[in-house]
Structure 1
Amino acid sequence: MTTERIPLFCDIALAERIERVEAQLTAACSDAARRRRSDTTGFVIPIAGGVASFAEENSPFNKVAGLGFGGVPTADELGEIERAFATYDAPVQVELAHLADPDLVAVLSDRGYRLESFENVLGLALPSPVDHAPPAGIEVRRGDDELESWLEMMADTAAHPDDQGVPWHEEFPRAAYISATRDLLGAGVTRYVALRNGEMAGGANYRVRDGVAQFAGAGTAPAHRRHGVQTALLTARIVDATAAGCDVAIVTTQPGSKSQQNVQRQGFDLLYTRAVLVKQP
C-alpha cells in the first residue's frame, strides 16, 4: 500500500489569517518607506479587516490588502480611501481573495473598479518532509552582509522575469524595486542569499507572523536558472519555518508561472486566487 499526501485545504478561517498577515506586512512596509525617507508622505488606513496603503510613487505597497474578511466597507469608507489615493494621483488597487465576502465584487464593480489580473496563493502544511540537502554546488544562508550586491542582484532577477505563465500585470522601475526591497527589510523581513559555485545566484525573503511563514521576493539571476537555486531557497525557508513553529508556509505567484510550478513540486497546494481590481483616479 502507498500513502498519498492529502492536499492542504483552505477554509475561510485560514484565508482570513493569511490575508491578515499580508495586510500587516503591507502596512509595515509602507511605514518603513516613510522612515527611510524621514517624511510623512503616504498613508496606511484600516478598512474592513484590511488596509489601504500608499508608500510612495511606483511602490508595490500602494494597494488595498486583506479586504473582505471584516465585513463589507461602507460607501463612506471606500470614498475615504479613493480620495486618499487621488491625492497622489494614484489608482486604487484592491487585491481581493476569492474567499472574501462575495458581496464585495458587486460593490466594487458598481464604483468603477475593473478586473485587471489574478494571482495565486499557495500553501504548504508544516511540518513537511523535505530533503534538507541543497543541490550540489549550491549554498543557502541568511543574508547578514553584502546587502548592496544582493539588492542589485535581486533587481536583475526582477528585470528578467521568466516568460512562462501569465505575466505580472505591473512593472516597477529598477530604483523603485530596490527601494521597495529595502522597505521589506525595514519591516523586519529576513533575507536569504543563494550561492552557486561561490557566486551569488539568487535570493529570497521570509517573515513569520501568527503561525504563517510568508515566502516572498524570490529570484534567480538569469545565468543561474534551471540549476536548483529556487529549490534550495525554498527548502531552507521551509526548514526555518518549521523550526519557528509555523503551521503553514505561503507564497504568491502568477498563474501558470515557473514559480508556481517550482513550489508545487515542493508540495505547495493552490489555496485560493486573488483578483486584482483597479479604479483609476
Structure 2
Amino acid sequence: MRHLPSEELIHRIQHSETDYMQDRMKAIEGRPGNPEGVEIEQFGQALCLYSRTMPWLSFNTVKGIKSEDSIHLDAIIDFYKSRDRKFQFEIVPAMVNQDLLSSLAARGFYQSAFHNSMYMNPQELKDMPDAGIVIKTIDKDEFEAYARIHCLGTGLPDQGIPSVALNNRVLHSRPGWSFYMAYAGEQPAAAGVMYMNHSNASLTFAATLPEFRRQGLQQQLLRRRIWDAKQAGCSLVVGQCAFLSQSHRNMETVGMKLGYVRTTWTEREA
C-alpha cells in the first residue's frame, strides 16, 4: 500500500530521522570515558545533540522542534553557547508555525539550507539487487575499510579514518544497525548504512570512493537495504539527500518519493 502525503506521515518520517541519530549518539556516548564528549538534552519536543570533539553541524543539531517549543528557545541556545559551539535547527514543515520561525529570526537565526527527506513503503519494491554487483554486510574487523570509504567518499581527511572506524564499530552489534559494502571486483568501493526500529527503516549514510562513482553501486546499495527492510517487515523506509543531487536521482529511480523539504537554520555571523 502506497503512503499518501499527510501530517501523520510527516511526523513518522521525522521520528525515524530523529530516532536513528539519537541511537547513534547514545552509542558513541557509551564508549569508555565518552571520548567524543557527547551530550544529549531534551527541551520539550526538541532533541539537542552535542559533541565536544566533533564540531560538524550534523553532530550539533536540534531535531524534532515543534511550535510549542518556542518557550524553550533561549534554553536551547544557552545549551550550545555555554559549550561555545555553532549549531543548527532542523525545521520540518507542518511541525512549526510562523511564531516559532519569527522567534528564531529575532534571535539572529536565518534559513541557511534545504534538505530532502525521501520515503517509500519497502513492500512495494519488486526488484532485488543486481546479482552482478557484490554487496556484503560488514564484519566487525572491516570498519577500517568502511571508514576509508566514509572519509574519502565525503571529502574528510585521512586522519579521520581511525575515529570514524571507532564511532561506527560501536554500532555493529547494536540492535537495528546494518552496515553494507559494495565491491568493484575485489575492491571495497562503496558503503551504505541502515537502522531499523519497529516498522521504520532509515538509510542513514552512503558514500562511494571517487574513482568508482557512476557505476550503479549506490542504486544497488539502496535496493539491497530496502529489500532487507522489506524482508524484516518494515512498512516505511526513509532517506535524506540534497535536492537534485545524484543521491536524489538514485532514490527516485528505486521508487522513493519526496516526503518534505526540511530547512536548516543557523546563527548569523557577528
TM range (shorter): 0.7 to 0.9
Counterpart residue identity of residue 205, structure 1 = V
| Cα distance per residue 1:49-107 (max 9 Å; x no partner) | 23011023324221001212xx42143x2222211111221123001112212232222
CA shift at 1:18, angstroms?
Answer: 2.1
Question: Are residues 55 and 180 of structure 1, via their aligned partners in 2, closer, same or farther at CA, if it must alter by over 3 Å?
Answer: farther
* TM-score, normalising length: structure 2: 0.87
Query: Would you identify which runs of 4 or more consecutive aligned residues in structure 1 move more than 4 Å?
Result: 172-178
State the partner residue of 2:202. 214
State the partner residue of 1:192. 180
Match of 1:266 among 234, 237, 254: 254
User: Could you tell me whether the CA contact under 8 Å between 1:53 and 1:61 is conserved in 2?
Assistant: yes
Counterpart residue identity of residue 65, structure 1 = K
Counterpart residue identity of residue 25, structure 2 = S
Matched, 1:124 2:124: no
Secondary structure at the aligned position of 1:107 is classed as helix
Structure with more helix by fraction:
2
Secondary structure at the aligned position of 1:91 is classed as coil
The CA RMSD over aligned residues, in Å, is: 2.4
Secondary structure at the aligned position of 2:202 is classed as strand
Matched, 1:33 2:24: no
Counterpart mapping for 1:121-200 below 5 A? 121-134=117-130, 136=132, 138-144=133-139, 145-159=141-155, 175=159, 179=163, 182-187=166-171, 188=174, 189-200=177-188
State the partner residue of 2:59. 61
Counterpart residue identity of residue 55, structure 2 = N
State the partner residue of 1:97. 92
Q: Identity over the aligned pairs, expressed in percent?
A: 22
User: Could you tell me whether the CA contact under 8 Å between 1:206 and 1:237 is conserved in 2?
Assistant: yes
State the partner residue of 1:165. none
Distance in structure 1 (CA, Å) of the matches to 2:162 and 2:97:
36
User: Could you tell me whether the CA contact under 8 Å between 1:90 and 1:280 is conserved in 2?
Assistant: no
Q: Gapped runs of 5+ residues in structure 1?
A: 1-5, 160-171
Secondary structure at the aligned position of 1:227 is classed as coil
Question: Are residues 248 and 194 of structure 1, via their aligned partners in 2, closer, same or farther at CA, if it must alter by over 3 Å?
Answer: same
Distance in structure 2 (CA, Å) of the matches to 1:210 and 1:79:
34
Question: Are residues 28 and 221 of structure 1, via their aligned partners in 2, closer, same or farther at CA, if it must alter by over 3 Å?
Answer: same
Counterpart residue identity of residue 142, structure 1 = T
Secondary structure at the aligned position of 2:233 is classed as coil
| Cα distance per residue 1:16-57 (max 9 Å; x no partner) | 122223223222222333333613834211133230110233
User: Could you tell me whether the CA contact under 8 Å between 1:157 and 1:220 is conserved in 2?
Assistant: yes
Secondary structure at the aligned position of 2:15 is classed as helix
Matched, 1:224 2:208: no
Distance in structure 2 (CA, Å) of the matches to 1:9 and 1:184:
34
Distance in structure 2 (CA, Å) of the matches to 1:239 and 1:147:
23
Counterpart residue identity of residue 207, structure 2 = G
Matched, 1:203 2:191: yes
Distance in structure 1 (CA, Å) of the matches to 2:255 and 2:162:
30
Secondary structure at the aligned position of 2:30 is classed as helix
State the partner residue of 2:82. 87
User: Could you tell me whether the CA contact under 8 Å between 2:51 and 2:59 is conserved in 1?
Assistant: yes
